[in-house]
Structure 1
Amino acid sequence: MASLLALAHRIDGATPPDRDRALDGLRALAIAGVVLGHWLVTALVVTGHTVRAGSPLRAVPELAPVSWVFQTLAVFFLVGGLVNARRTGPYGAWVKARLTRLVRPVGALAAVWAVAAGAMFVSGAELETVRTLGKLVVSPLWFLLVFALLTAATPLVSRLHPVWPLAAVASADLVRYGLGGPSWLGWANVVAGWLVPYCLGLAWGRRGLPRGSTGWALLAGGGLAALGLVVWGGYPAAMVGVPGAPVSNLDPPTLAAVAFGLAQCGAAALLAGPLRRLLARPAAWAAVAVVNLSAMTVFLWHQTAMIAVTLAGLRLGGHLPGLHTVPDGLGWVAARLAWLPVFAAVLALCCLLFRVYERSPAQGPGRRMERR
């Protein structure tokens, strides 16, 4: 215990005094939301020798409000905008450093999974099984692609008011849902939808996070708008994708998802002050700092950790509750909760093995806490 406290104090002392710890705290909360959300709503159902994806949200739609807690992607884009608004130095060097931090960890993941997919085929795994597992690993990468695009476009969108991409999302949804227009129009929302919190972060990064009324207005207004769109507008109640559902709020983002994202931005603004005070404590800050130093690794490898535990369970006999069984009720949810510590332990091992790819080659140990 004494050694852990000493380590926490060393991390605290190595942190630049002008670093806004609230941003790291918000990023850590967003990461935790995404990871726990995926682990709770993604099921790998084993039927014979085939693994298929499922979701408890399909069997128990009453659990949809849970997805509102764990769908935290808007906070990622908000924090990204807040950080990128403070960029310094030549644009070329800056954007290269930012994008390198995204590309290197993805390369490591792709290499490992290329070998894993080949090994599964050689061992006789069915094509559907390999496709299911591969899709779980690859599907979160869309977020990084959009984030990289918005990061590269920062100088172009730095003065763009969030109301314009919000209007674009509303127009696309009106045409495709209200007027019977082509569904492909929704793919414009992949950029426009996440541009809303990103532009909000850029604006707040220049002026400082708002306090009081603005945060409450976004939280209440965005939340009520999202709720109204679900109740009266016909949008899905789940803020995550549900296998087999005709409409998804995320694939591509809908107006309901963007309104919900604005509510999250309001909540983030309100949480910033309390987070700064909490993270002034060395122990709390050390935990958040460790998560942020491995943020990309956690995001990229959390599905692999779940898959690894699931496949290992098959070797031990298979069809374990909450791991291989159909997510058909609250019993499955209770069993899945018991597996979360095992997923977390395997994810920690992945971080130990692959976090090195998250650091740029020129970054030495003494500079780690300077990263945003």
Structure 2
Amino acid sequence: MRRLARLAARTPADRERYLDLLRGLAIIMVVLGHWTIATIYHNDRGQPDGHSALPEIPWAYPLTWAVQVMPLFFLVGGYANAASLAAHRRRGGDATGWLLGRSARLLRPTTALVLVLAGGAFVGRLAGVDPSMVRTVVWFATIPLWFLAAYFAVVPLTPPMYALHRRFGLAAPVALALLVAVGDLGRGLGPDWVALPNYLLGWLAIHQLGFAWYDARQGDCRHDRRRHDARQGHRPPDRTPAGGRAGIRTRCLPMSRPAALTMVAAGLTVAVLLTGPGPYPVNMISLPGERLANAAPPSVALLAVATAQLGVILLLRERAERWLRRSRPWQAVIAVNSVVLTVFLWQLSAVVLLVGALNGLGVLPTPAAGSAAWLAWRLPWVLMLAVVLAGLVAVFGPIEARTGRSIANRRPEHAGRGPAGGHGGTGRPRGDGRPAGRWAGVRGVLTVAGFAAVVFAMAANSATAKTAPEPLGLPVAALLAYLAGAGTLRVLRSGWGSRG
């Protein structure tokens, strides 16, 4: 508690605390949503299995408009990435150094999950457990990785996409949304693979709005062309207030109450039209068999709902910010965010452990989805899972917490050199701490390759059937790619190649 109090006291006055609250609440909603909607049953071989109860409770489809919070992660991620990239560059760091720093916070908790699951699968195989059963358990526990695959693809694009934002402002997410609509049209009229780019384009559109929120906080709203004209003696740069009107080329997210109400009304209207008379399903959490699934990949209907959600978030912002100025609420937010990725990653491992324990004791309830017994079982089920997850967070949470503290405590002069501030390679470093010459290019290429390998590994795992006979639970190619990518990024963070 004393450490939390010290951290709360040291929080900069200009920090957007509301975004930290949103990140923590989004994780909690995801966890509770996954736990609540799960239904457990015994398959034909008498083994416990599970699936989503949504197909059996269609009355809950409209509720997914509120509990589909994946857009929040990319909105908050866009703000956080823009803020940290700008601060990193002010300290003299380069884009590669920034990417390596971001990879540490994301990869260390994720690697712990991957290694524990692979090790557990190996032990299970030695004990004679059927490979398909091993894969089923690991597949279920690694469902959260599908989201991280999308986020890991977006993060390396932050430097060029932020430059695009600085040039075109809000026109960039509008253009991305139009491309998502084109992808939806393609999968509506043709094969599903036509919309594969939407996995990236949809989340990028929301990520760009996070950039706009950050620039609104900085009061820096005009695009670079007008700033250039000002330097040439033409119209001076306009620092348009966050709630002001500057057209679609403004870099700032409109933050006023009328703008927020417009977002809510417009987002809901478009979403209703697209899911009512339109072809999109009402459900915003994709289910098997849906032709125009809204979340896999993101659809324009999901972007419309995300717009309405953003409006609601802005309407609550001022009141939430005042509340977060109080010490105890802010300490609670700090505590949650220090292990937020650990909670997200291990949420379904808690389900696996609890189901295995109850099944082993012969007391595993398996009521039919949507039945009165199933509804009554929701509260004790969630409470028991919370206890199991708390134990997992106690064990694995310090990995994430220590990573966050090491990054936060890094001295500014080490920017661009990796968390430890060390050097590697050969030659003489440049005065700003960045690698010079050909090593800079090699280091950048290897960093992007490391991210790409991790994205491939997570996507390949999600695409592999849950009953595939994988001896280590994870597909061998995916596991090797993940270890290669994460290992490469770890070596680069240690300082290799930071000298030219």
TM-score (norm 1): 0.89
Q: Which amino acid in 2 is paired with 1:26?
A: L
Q: Secondary structure at the match of 1:45?
A: strand
Aligned residue among 180, 183, 203 for 2:192: 183
In structure 1, stretches of 5+ residues that fail to align are none
Q: Is 1:136 equivalent to 2:140 in the alignment? A: yes
Deviation at 1:105, TM superposition (A): 1.1
Alpha carbons of structure 1 residues 292 and 174: separation in structure 2 relative to 1, 3 Å: same
CA distance in 2, matches of 1:366, 1:199: 25
Cα RMSD for the two superposed structures: 2.4
Aligned residues: 359
Q: Is 1:275 equivalent to 2:286 in the alignment? A: no
Q: Secondary structure at the match of 2:196?
A: helix
Taking the TM superposition and a 5 Å limit, the aligned residue runs for 1:93-172 are 93-158=97-162, 159-160=164-165, 161-172=172-183
Greater helix percent: which structure? 1
Deviation at 1:30, TM superposition (A): 1.1
Contact 1:162–1:196 (CA under 8 A) maintained in structure 2? yes
Alpha carbons of structure 1 residues 93 and 330: separation in structure 2 relative to 1, 3 Å: farther
Aligned residue among 388, 398, 404 for 1:346: 388
Deviates more, 1:38-47 or 1:198-207: 38-47
CA distance in 2, matches of 1:247, 1:171: 13
Deviation at 1:167, TM superposition (A): 0.3
Q: Which amino acid in 1 is paired with 2:56?
A: A
Alpha carbons of structure 1 residues 54 and 80: separation in structure 2 relative to 1, 3 Å: same
CA distance in 2, matches of 1:345, 1:290: 17
In structure 2, stretches of 5+ residues that fail to align are 166-171, 218-252, 411-500
CA distance in 1, matches of 2:76, 2:405: 22
CA distance in 1, matches of 2:111, 2:70: 22
Larger Rg: 1 or 2? 2
CA distance in 1, matches of 2:195, 2:187: 7
Q: Is 1:74 equivalent to 2:85 in the alignment? A: no
Deviates more, 1:296-305 or 1:116-125: 116-125
CA distance in 1, matches of 2:328, 2:337: 15
Alpha carbons of structure 1 residues 236 and 330: separation in structure 2 relative to 1, 3 Å: farther
- 2:48 aligns with 51
Alpha carbons of structure 1 residues 240 and 120: separation in structure 2 relative to 1, 3 Å: farther
CA distance in 2, matches of 1:246, 1:326: 26
Q: Which amino acid in 1 is paired with 2:133?
A: T
Q: Which amino acid in 1 is paired with 2:35?
A: W
Contact 2:177–2:202 (CA under 8 A) maintained in structure 1? yes
Q: Secondary structure at the match of 1:52?
A: strand
CA distance in 2, matches of 1:361, 1:28: 18
Q: Which amino acid in 2 is paired with 1:42?
A: A
Deviation at 1:15, TM superposition (A): 2.5
- 1:200 aligns with 209
Alpha carbons of structure 1 residues 220 and 154: separation in structure 2 relative to 1, 3 Å: same
Q: Is 1:83 equivalent to 2:80 in the alignment? A: yes
Q: Secondary structure at the match of 1:64?
A: helix
Alpha carbons of structure 1 residues 334 and 236: separation in structure 2 relative to 1, 3 Å: farther
Deviations 1:295-330 (A, max 9, x none): 11111111111221111111121431xxx4442434
- 1:228 aligns with 273
CA distance in 1, matches of 2:372, 2:289: 20
Q: Which amino acid in 2 is paired with 1:252?
A: P
- 2:286 aligns with 241
Alpha carbons of structure 1 residues 360 and 128: separation in structure 2 relative to 1, 3 Å: same
Alpha carbons of structure 1 residues 129 and 238: separation in structure 2 relative to 1, 3 Å: farther
Alpha carbons of structure 1 residues 269 and 361: separation in structure 2 relative to 1, 3 Å: closer
Deviates more, 1:115-124 or 1:251-260: 115-124
Deviation at 1:245, TM superposition (A): 4.8
Deviates more, 1:235-244 or 1:30-39: 235-244
- 1:174 aligns with 185
CA distance in 1, matches of 2:64, 2:275: 13
Alpha carbons of structure 1 residues 9 and 100: separation in structure 2 relative to 1, 3 Å: closer
Q: Secondary structure at the match of 1:174?
A: helix
Q: Which amino acid in 1 is paired with 2:304?
A: A
- Percent identity of the aligned residues? 34
Contact 2:141–2:352 (CA under 8 A) maintained in structure 1? no
Q: Is 1:17 equivalent to 2:13 in the alignment? A: yes
Deviates more, 1:308-317 or 1:44-53: 44-53
Alpha carbons of structure 1 residues 244 and 215: separation in structure 2 relative to 1, 3 Å: same
- 2:426 aligns with none
Q: Which amino acid in 2 is paired with 1:75?
A: L
Deviation at 1:38, TM superposition (A): 1.1
Deviation at 1:247, TM superposition (A): 4.9
- 1:309 aligns with 354
CA distance in 2, matches of 1:217, 1:27: 24
Deviations 1:119-151 (A, max 9, x none): 333445444433333222223212222222222
CA distance in 1, matches of 2:216, 2:130: 54
Q: Secondary structure at the match of 1:162?
A: helix
CA distance in 2, matches of 1:50, 1:257: 36
Deviation at 1:187, TM superposition (A): 1.2
CA distance in 1, matches of 2:389, 2:351: 8
